[in-house]
Amino acid sequence: MQQRTPITPDPRTAPAPGTERGTDRSRRRFLAAAGTLGGSLAAAPLGTARAAGPPAPRRAAGRTVAVLGGGVSGLTAAHELAERGYRVTVYERNPTLGGKARSMDVPGTGGAGRRPLPGEHGFRFFPGFYRNLPDTLRRIPVPGSATGAHGNLVDATEVLFARDGGRPDLRLPFRTLLAAPSLELLLPDALLQTLTGLLDTSLHLPATEIAYFANRMLVHLTSCEERRLGQWEHIPWWEFVRADRMSYDYQRLLAIGLTRNLVATRAEVASTRTVARILQAFLYNVLGFGTDGEPDRVLNAPTSEAWIDPWTAQLSDLGVRFELGCEVQELTYSDGLVSGVRLADLDSGRIRTVTADHYLSAMPVEHARLTWGPALRAADPGLARCDRLQTDWMVGVQFYLRTRTPIVHGHVDYVDTPWALTSISQAQFWPGRDFRADYGDGTVAECLSVIVSQWDTPGVLYGRPALKCTREEVVREVWAQLKGSLNDTGRAVLRDDDVHSWFIDPAVTGLGGPAPANREQLLVQTVGSHDNRPPAATAVPNLFLAGDYTATDIDLATMEGANESARLAVNALLDADGSNRPRCTVWTLYRPPELELLQQQDAVRYRLGLPNALDFG
């Protein structure tokens, strides 16, 4: 789990292809022309509705609900149900709550009154276009914070695209551009000009490629929902943006990099609908529309300290019970209803069955679908579609360093790394924590949290994919790839003798052996996957589904998706129960009314078999 032996340096080489550019004057002239539609398009502004706020907490005794899974979706469901008077028990396999979002103590690392070093499955961030999860955060009391756990969010203001082989890194501001955004920015001409300008200023790609990518984004922005589901859902992002025809930098930055960072899947298989929806959400966030805050926010302490622990304390106060260390084996079914849940206590091995009036399954899809037996699947044949949903590895390595190493005030994307690395230096965002005084043995000053997104690509050190490496080899390989991007200009950003220790989530097992496994995988939005995502309500009247694999508006495996799915599941349960308690507020992604007319026109074209009016191939 943890290694204290210093990492020895290893040589690293990487290709550094260049791109040709024209003169600045001709480039500006070209982009100015590309960024205008000639005023031929218009959109009529329409109003938007706002939902009511959350209900006041209620402690009245009510019917019982078994929530299966103690991750973000399970805790959200428990929160909403307890506030509406239901008696809730959460059953969780892990010894701690929070799922993939939790932080974990690194065993044997605390001392002299200091906490153990904080480990995690991987870093997390809270974009400003999240609306459901921030609402929950505001409702979690935290001493000294008028806005609850939401007050523990802090802004990350930059992003760094780190390149290999001495190529210039791209360090960019990442924040909302306008304090008072103008609705005119959402008209097609203005959107295209804004997109073109942002890309040109930030990425320095060939002007023709910038113009093409901006046009592709506008095609999706003006597409009707029928086209998005019927056409773009079934086309890979790589194909939609014509990455195979473009430069190496275009492929790495706009095709591969965006899907890796924002959608956590591969451009070659990722649904265009999913990728483009998240990109447009970030675009509107940067322009100041439909936001809860800045585009990139992180917590001001380890996740469990800043969020999960206060949350579980609040839920306990609301009467929620937690049973940890118990694994759901099967939801038993009889007489048209779920009749119970068979559990295995991991410590004793004892098998038992628990019952409730309602059952809300909030486990990850790869675990949930194993608990649906033949009788239950026969009762709801739609459950079988979940077997087609795919998951993949996305897990991190935390490097504990002896020196504060704030590489950038935000996230780093190591664009050229074969293992698709991203990272964040966390100590800079924890102002209330003195790392040396609060954690470990008193010598650790930094936690550099790195995520490995591609576990099946050969590395630079051993020539093997991460799945074929031991834990120690994975760590050395990740460190070598980090240095290949950060130390390639001669400046020693990372030093081998600065590494104190490291941590990989114990959910990852068997590395270096014949059967590597990861119990905490991530759903990936492959082409067509939307069709296989189930609704919150099943055909079984007392069974409901939550989790980032279910059908949500955000349509992405994220904490926001998990939170939204739980709200939908609770609303479905309230409907089935005939409850008169208020329904959960559910926020959807921002939809500019200025584009609705174009989307309505596109719906007509789609039904006639015609392409989007701006789709020039």
Q: Over the Cα atoms of the chain, what is R_g?
A: 25
Could you tell me if 351 and 453 lie in one domain? no
Q: What is the pLDDT of residue 426?
A: 97
Q: Calculate the average pLDDT of the chain.
A: 88
Strand partners, 352: 343
| Segment 46-102, tens digit of pLDDT | 233 334 444 444 433 469 999 999 999 999 999 999 999 999 999 999 999 999 999
Could you tell me if 260 and 344 lie in one domain? no
| Segment 426-469, tens digit of pLDDT | 999 999 899 999 999 999 999 999 999 999 999 999 999 999 99
Could you tell me if 500 and 466 lie in one domain? yes
d(CA 42, CA 253): 31
Answer yes or no: is 381 within a domain.
Answer: yes
Cβ(459)–Cβ(470) below 8 Å: no
Count: domains in the chain: 3
Identify the weakest region by mean pLDDT among 39-43, 111-115, 141-145. Answer: 39-43
Could you tell me if 86 and 114 lie in one domain? no
Q: Is the pLDDT of residue 492 over 70?
A: yes
Answer yes or no: is 31 within a domain.
Answer: no
Q: What is the DSSP string of 224-276?
A: -HHHHHHTGGGSBHHHHTTGGGS-HHHIIIIIIIHIIIIISS-TTTBBHHHHH
Which band of pLDDT confidence, cut at 50, 70 and 90, is reported for residue 176? confident
Q: Is the pLDDT of residue 533 over 70?
A: yes
Which has the closest alpha carbon to 524: 497, 546, 555, 496? 555
Handedness of CA 36, 41, 45, 46 (dihedral sign): negative
Would you give the end-to-end CA distance of the chain in angstroms?
Answer: 50
User: Among residues 290, 310, 333, which one ends one of the domains?
Assistant: 290
Answer yes or no: is 56 within a domain.
Answer: no
Helices vs strands, H then E, count in the chain = 18, 23
Answer yes or no: is 413 within a domain.
Answer: yes
To which residue do tokens 């007319």 refer? Answer: 597
What CATH number does the domain containing 375 carry?
Answer: 3.50.50.60
Q: Residue 174: exposed, middle, or buried by beta-carbon count in 10 A (0-12, 13-18, 19+)?
A: buried
Packed helices 309-317 and 72-83: angle between N→C axes, nearest 10 degrees: 30
Could you tell me if 239 and 251 lie in one domain? yes
Could you tell me if 398 and 514 lie in one domain? yes
Answer yes or no: is 250 within a domain.
Answer: yes
Portion of the chain with pLDDT greater than 90, in percent = 74
| Segment 119-134, tens digit of pLDDT | 999 998 999 999 999 9
Identify the weakest region by mean pLDDT among 186-200, 269-283, 304-318, 576-590. Answer: 186-200
Answer yes or no: is 47 within a domain.
Answer: no
d(CA 439, CA 114): 5
Could you tell me if 127 and 192 lie in one domain? no
Alpha helices in 429-554 (DSSP H): 435-438, 471-486
User: Among residues 470, 487, 518, which one ends one of the domains?
Assistant: 518
Q: What would the mean pLDDT of 463-477 be, rounded to a whole number?
A: 97
Q: Is the pLDDT of residue 32 over 80?
A: no
| Segment 161-174, tens digit of pLDDT | 999 988 888 888 88
Which band of pLDDT confidence, cut at 50, 70 and 90, is reported for residue 184? low
Could you tell me if 411 and 509 lie in one domain? yes
Identify the weakest region by mean pLDDT among 70-74, 253-257, 417-421. Answer: 253-257
Could you tell me if 493 and 453 lie in one domain? yes
User: Among residues 491, 518, 545, which one ends one of the domains?
Assistant: 518
Answer yes or no: is 148 within a domain.
Answer: no
Q: What is the pLDDT of residue 175?
A: 86
Q: What would the mean pLDDT of 327-351 be, rounded to a whole number?
A: 97
Which band of pLDDT confidence, cut at 50, 70 and 90, is reported for residue 491? confident
Q: What is the pLDDT of residue 261?
A: 63
What CATH number does the domain containing 407 carry?
Answer: 3.30.9
Q: Is the pLDDT of residue 302 over 90?
A: yes
Identify the weakest region by mean pLDDT among 6-20, 144-158, 191-205, 263-277. Answer: 6-20
Could you tell me if 380 and 398 lie in one domain? no
Identify the domain containing residue 231 by its residue range.
177-290
Q: What would the mean pLDDT of 508-513 be, rounded to a whole number?
A: 96
Answer yes or no: is 419 within a domain.
Answer: yes
Identify the weakest region by mean pLDDT among 7-16, 144-153, 375-384, 431-440. Answer: 7-16
Q: What would the mean pLDDT of 218-236 be, rounded to a whole number?
A: 96
Q: Is the pLDDT of residue 19 over 70?
A: no
Q: What is the pLDDT of residue 254?
A: 86
Portion of the chain with pLDDT greater than 70, in percent = 86
Distances (CA, A) of 460 to 15, 50, 261, 417, 489: 12, 51, 21, 9, 18
Could you tell me if 86 and 115 lie in one domain? no
Q: Residue 91 phi/psi, 5° resolution?
A: -110, 125
The helix (H) or strand (E) run that includes residue 305 is none
Q: What would the mean pLDDT of 342-355 be, rounded to a whole number?
A: 96
d(CA 488, CA 480): 11
Cβ(118)–Cβ(106) below 8 Å: yes
Could you tell me if 414 and 344 lie in one domain? no
Q: What is the pLDDT of residue 201?
A: 62
Alpha helices in 318-373 (DSSP H): 365-368
Q: What would the mean pLDDT of 523-546 be, rounded to a whole number?
A: 96
